[in-house]
Amino acid sequence: MDNKTVNFTIDGVDMQGKPGQTILEAADAAGIYIPRLCAMKGLSPNGSCRVCTVMVNSRPQTACTFPIAEGMDVENDTEKLRTMRRDIIDMLFVEGNHFCMFCEKSGNCELQALAYRFGICAPKYPYLFPKCGPVDASHPDVFIDRNRCILCGRCVSASIEQDGKNVFGFAARGPHKRVTVNSDSGLDKTDLAVADKAAASCPVGAIVRKRVGFAAPVGQRAYDCAPIGSEIEAAKPSSGTNQ
Amino acid sequence: MGSTLAADVRQICKDFGNDPVRLIDVARALQSRYGSISKETIALLSAELKIPRVRVESTVSFYSFLSEAPKGKIVIRLCDDIIDRFSGVELVADVFRRELGIDFGETTPDGLITLEWTPCIGMCDQAPAALVNEVVVTELSSDKVRDIIQVLRETRDPRKLTRRYGDGNNASPLVRSMVCNNIRKRGFIFTEKEKGEALRKALAMSPVEVIREVKAARLRGRGGAGFPAGMKWDFTRASEGDEKYVICNADEGEPGTFKDRAILTEKPELLFEGMTIAGYAIGAQNGIVYLRGEYAYLRRFLEDVLEKRRQAGCLGKDVCGKKGFNFDIRIQSGAGSYVCGEETSLISSCEGLRGDPKNRPPFPAQKGYLGKPTSVNNVETFCYAVRVIENGAAWFAGIGSKGSAGTKLLSIAGDCAAPGVYEYAFGTPLRQILKDVGAEDVLAVQIGGPSGKLVGEADFDRVICYDDLATGGALVIFNKERNILEIVRYYLEFFVEESCGYCTPCRVGNVLMERCLDKILNGQGEPSDLPYLEALGETIKVTSRCGLGQTSPNPLISSIKNFRHLYEALLREPKEGRQPGFDFKAAVAAAEEIAGHKSLLGHTAH
């Protein structure tokens, strides 16, 4: 029995998890929501957005990548971490050209939903207004708008791990880093199919299916009624889900 | 042309065993032959190495020495480090521009020469300096530049630029470089003669005894982080797996660092001996030296030293007659990326991938190169390990200060009479060092390069060691004529360009800090900018994924702390309701152009 349970704490509350679980998985199962963007159930974690940063025995780690261990103390919902997570969300907003009011992802967008959860009305940083190039609408069923990309890497992982393809990747580095596709021109020259998991992996409005925008009316979209993370907080221990 | 390219790609891939892990070597060879990695080349590489096209693009677009856009047959990369700037690189740059008739980032119409800026090339002790393809040219002046251009136009051969060789092995037929070692204070690394006995001595011990000795010597990593080397070896040894690796981090890219250059030039045997001892202790069969792309001029020389060691039985099967201990070393070239000095980025790069750091855990000691247990150590650390085995742990532990055993190589450059490589015992006060190097009227010292701290007079009595003024080796001295904010601005720009872009705080946060500093430098700063920068810096430091982001705010934040008055002098309380950073004229410019007349508001606002 003992070797099947890992005892640790989150914000001083005793927790039990399974060996091999990450902090994020164990917290989800216990009904504790740790905000995240690049982590997606079913994909190996990237640890790229840094929104899920927690303090593990007083040292910063990402909950999505860090495994639980016996006796570990995790700080999650503290003033300092809330501030830093807010900062990161702000950074993602000013780094791209986001236009929530007209974006078909509005209401279903995880970045927007996190901003609402954190009470962000406007980012505190100046907009960087990057030039992201034209929208790639070459594919019959899916388009890429890099203005809205947050470089989380979910599409890259989903294509490799879930679809067994290599449709997406990253090019260049630093502030010039951008999502790229496995062809010398556009998305239409790749083997992406509309039913691919990668086509549905984007947390924001960067990779979007054509002809299904605005299907759900305002009021019935994913985050219209309850903030992002509520589904985890509402879940009973041991039946945690992760959107 | 097309068929030639295809044949070349096929041949070069074959030379590297059609192994995708060697993608960077392959790409560098093609870049130097064709001046670019074109779309066509990417497609050919994808087919030849049997990896997706997107993976090839992802890797080659990461490194600054590889480019999709065509470059000239000769690429001149002028170092724009802050020390080069303070050594008059702008004057030199102007001569380059004028003589070539092009600006930086451009290629001469005949396709012969491309002119570029590059960050620190490890020659701060002989600045201004530049790379001409793989040839290093140092102490540039207007006359020298004119001469360089003339020689290149006449001979089209950068090797003809070197007429006088530097000291020591720089004059070796396999190096033939004008680089000078500038070893100013010798200690235990640059001894007169190598005994070469440490390896045999280690092989007479058990691997566990070797590790015990290195632990007892309290040898800590010399790259900057200071992790105990013996523990790292022990963890790697203890990890499961028959295949293990020793990697030498010879990617010193911290602006102002060049001490490993001196070791690689004068003491390669010592380094390889240390790596072999590490291999024995860990149970590794293979070693890799990750040689920074800027030091490619040393590669043939290092290969030759390796070959001689193979012939002498110090590498290969049954090393030095020790049955069952097989160990060899290969050299992996970098391709222009600072973050690859971070150990997990370095591993990614050795694997032929983008130089993105990896998530930890698992640590390299558990899962490193190709998923196998790997110990990554600094050039200098391997050298000291040899000295520990030679002279005993007690001897080594007896040198230096309490928490920092032994000595440390420092690359000292900037405003001083004798820039170069110095070896000091840990615990030496900064003031003593400044005196030794002939530094006068010192305003500030950047300790440990830009990722370290910028300290002023008040800190000069502090000592060099892991627990006080910690450093990976770079000490950059600035005198009272220098502008601290200009220095900080340069370092920020460096981090922005060298960030891998994987994680949000480093990718975006550094750009935001740069914007705010520019606002202050433009005279639009307000008092609230300092707490804004401090908070932003804290978020970047705490939440970034690797050492680059965790330290990139240091120059700015430590200068705000130590030289606050310099910032405050530039800040003004804004007029009520005004945002000084907001440029009204620029904001309405596009609208004015469409409307075809000037905005009335624009006139009243100013």
**pLDDT digit string, tens, across residues B36-58:** 999 999 999 999 999 999 999 99
Residue A1: is its pLDDT beyond 50? no
Give the nearest partner residue to A174 out of B58, B497, B581, using CB atoms. Answer: B497
Q: pLDDT tens digit string along B560-595?
A: 999 999 999 999 998 887 888 888 888 888 888 998
Q: Does residue B203 belong to any structural domain of this protein?
A: yes
The reply to whether residue B505 touches residue A174, judged by beta carbons under 8 angstroms, is no
Query: Is A70 a residue whose pLDDT tops 50?
Result: yes
Q: Which residue of A has its CA nearest to B539?
A: A84
- The C-alpha torsion from B404 through B409 and B411 to B417, rounded to 10°, is 100
> Shortest CA distance to A148 belongs to which of A180, A103, A91, A200?
A103
DSSP assignment of A150-203 equals ----HHHHIIIIISS---EEEES-GGG-EEEESSSS-GGGS---TTSGGGG--S
Closest CA to B261 of B237, B220, B212, B294: B294
| Residue A47 scores a pLDDT above 80 | yes
Residue among B361, B503, B581 minimizing CB distance to A67: B361
CATH value at residue B436? 3.10.20.600
In the prediction, which pLDDT does B39 show? 96
Same domain as B432, residue B525: no
Q: Are A143 and A151 in contact (CB under 8 A)?
A: no
Residue A243: pLDDT over 50:
no
ipTM entry: 0.95
Q: Do A183 and B53 touch (CB under 8 A)?
A: yes
Question: pLDDT class for B351, splitting at 50, 70, 90?
Answer: very high
From residue B319, alpha-carbon distances to B75, B309, B326, B348 in Å are 41, 10, 6, 29
Give the span between the Cα atoms of B309 and B542, in whole angstroms: 45
- Residue B243 and residue B370 share a domain: yes
Question: What pairs with residue A208 in β-bridges?
Answer: A143
DSSP state of A148: G
Torsion of CA B192, B196, B199, B204, to 10 degrees: -120
Take residue B392 and report the two structure tokens written for it: 């005993």
Q: Which residues of B touch A177 (CB under 8 A)?
A: 500-502, 507
- List CB contacts (< 8 A) between A67 and chain B: 361
DSSP-derived secondary structure letter, B464: B
Domain ranges for chain A: 2-77, 85-209
Is B281 in the same domain as B365? yes
Q: A-side interface with B, Cβ within 8 Å? A: 45, 47-51, 53, 60, 62, 65-67, 83-84, 87-88, 91-92, 94-95, 125-126, 128, 150-151, 166-177, 180-184
Domain containing B477: what range? 408-481
Same domain, B320 and B381: yes
Place of tokens 């008739």: B101
Question: Cα separations (Å) of A80 from A35, A39, A76, A121?
Answer: 14, 22, 9, 20
Architecture of domain A2-77: Roll (3.10)
Shared domain check, B101 and B37: no
- The reported pLDDT for the residue numbered B605 is 45
**How many contacts does A have with B, using Cβ atoms within 8 A?**
125
- pLDDT over threshold 60, residue B73: yes
The pLDDT score that the predictor gives to residue B581 is 81
DSSP string, B148-204: HHHHHHHH--GGGG--S--SGGGGSTTT-------EEE--SSS-SS----HHHHHHH
Handedness of CA B218, B224, B229, B232 (dihedral sign): positive
Whether B423 is covered by a domain: the verdict is yes
B10-27 per-position pLDDT tens digit = 999 999 999 999 999 999
The C-alpha of B574 sits at a distance from chain A's nearest C-alpha, in angstroms, of 17
| pLDDT higher than 70, residue B603 | no
How far is it, in rounded angstroms, from Cα A65 to Cα A36?
12
Whether residue B413 lies inside any domain: the answer is yes
Amino acid in the structure at residue B240: E
Residue of chain B with shortest Cα separation from A124: B532
Is the Cβ pair A184, B53 closer than 8 Å? yes
Gap between the terminal Cα atoms of chain B? 60
CA distances (Å), origin B38, targets A118, B2, B18, B560: 45, 12, 19, 45
Predicted confidence at residue A241, as pLDDT, reads: 41
Look at strands B407-414 and B420-425 and give their pairing: antiparallel
Q: Chain B residue with minimal CA distance to A174?
A: B501
Question: What's the CA gap between A150 and A39, in Å, rounded?
Answer: 13
pLDDT bin (cut points 50, 70, 90) of residue A239 is very low
Same-domain status, B263 and B134: no
Is the pLDDT at A14 greater than 70? The verdict is yes
Rounded mean pLDDT, B125-148: 97
CA–CA dist B391, B213 (Å, integer): 11
List residues of B whose CB lies inside 8 A of any A CB: 39, 42-43, 52-55, 57-58, 61-62, 337, 354-355, 359, 361, 496-505, 507-509, 511-512, 515, 535-536, 538-539, 542-545, 581
Structural contact between residues A204 and A154, judged by C-beta atoms closer than 8 angstroms? no
Which chain B residues touch A51 with a CB distance below 8 Å?
A: 504
The whole-number pLDDT of residue A236 equals: 60
**Mean confidence (pLDDT) of chain B:** 95
B302 shares a domain with B246: yes
**Nearest one of A82, A170, A156 to A118, comparing CA atoms:** A82
> B61 contacts in A (CB within 8 Å)?
171-173, 180
pTM score, whole prediction: 0.95
Q: Do B512 and A83 touch (CB under 8 A)?
A: no
Task: Give the pLDDT confidence of B416-452 residue by residue, as tens digits.
Answer: 999 999 999 999 999 999 999 999 999 999 998 888 8
Contact B79, B127 (CB under 8 A): yes
pLDDT at B2 (0 to 100): 56
The pLDDT of B525-533, averaged and rounded, is 97
**Whether residues B192 and B130 fall in one domain:** no
Domain A85-209, CATH 2.60.40.1120 — does that match?
no
Q: What is the CATH number of the domain that holds B521?
A: 1.20.1440.230
Contact state of A83 with B539 under an 8 Å Cβ cutoff = yes
Q: Is B219 a residue whose pLDDT tops 60?
A: yes
Find chain A residues with C-beta within 8 A of B501's C-beta: 151, 170, 172-177
- pLDDT the model gives residue B604: 52
The answer to whether the CB of B232 falls within 8 A of the CB of B390 is no
- B45 and B89 share one domain: no
Asked if residue B385 and residue B246 are part of one domain, the reply reads: yes
Q: How many domains does chain B have?
A: 5
Chain A residues with CB-CB distance to B499 below 8 A: 173-175
Q: Is the pLDDT of residue B602 over 60?
A: no
Per residue in A161-219, pLDDT (tens digit) is 999 999 999 999 999 999 999 999 999 999 999 999 999 999 999 999 999 999 999 99
The two tokens of residue B574 are 């804004």
CATH code of the domain containing B231: 3.40.50.11540
B33 conformational bin, left if phi > 0, alpha if psi -120 to 50, beta if neither: alpha
Q: Give yes or no: residues B20 and B49 share one domain.
A: yes
pLDDT at A240: 42
Band (pLDDT 50/70/90 cuts) for residue B239 is very high
Chain B contact set for A128 (CB, 8 A): 508, 511-512, 515
B209 and B79 share a domain?
no
Q: What percent of chain B has pLDDT over 70?
A: 99
Instruction: Judge: A50–B57 Cβ closer than 8 Å, yes or no.
Output: no
Taking CB atoms and an 8 Å cutoff, what residues of chain A touch B581? 126
Q: How far apart are CA B515 and CA A140, in angstroms?
A: 40
Which pLDDT value is given to residue B196?
A: 85
Burial of B478 (0-12, 13-18, 19+ CB in 10 A): buried
Q: What's residue B143's pLDDT?
A: 97
The three state secondary structure string of B209-221 is HHHHHHHHCCCEC
CA–CA min distance A220, chain B (Å) = 31
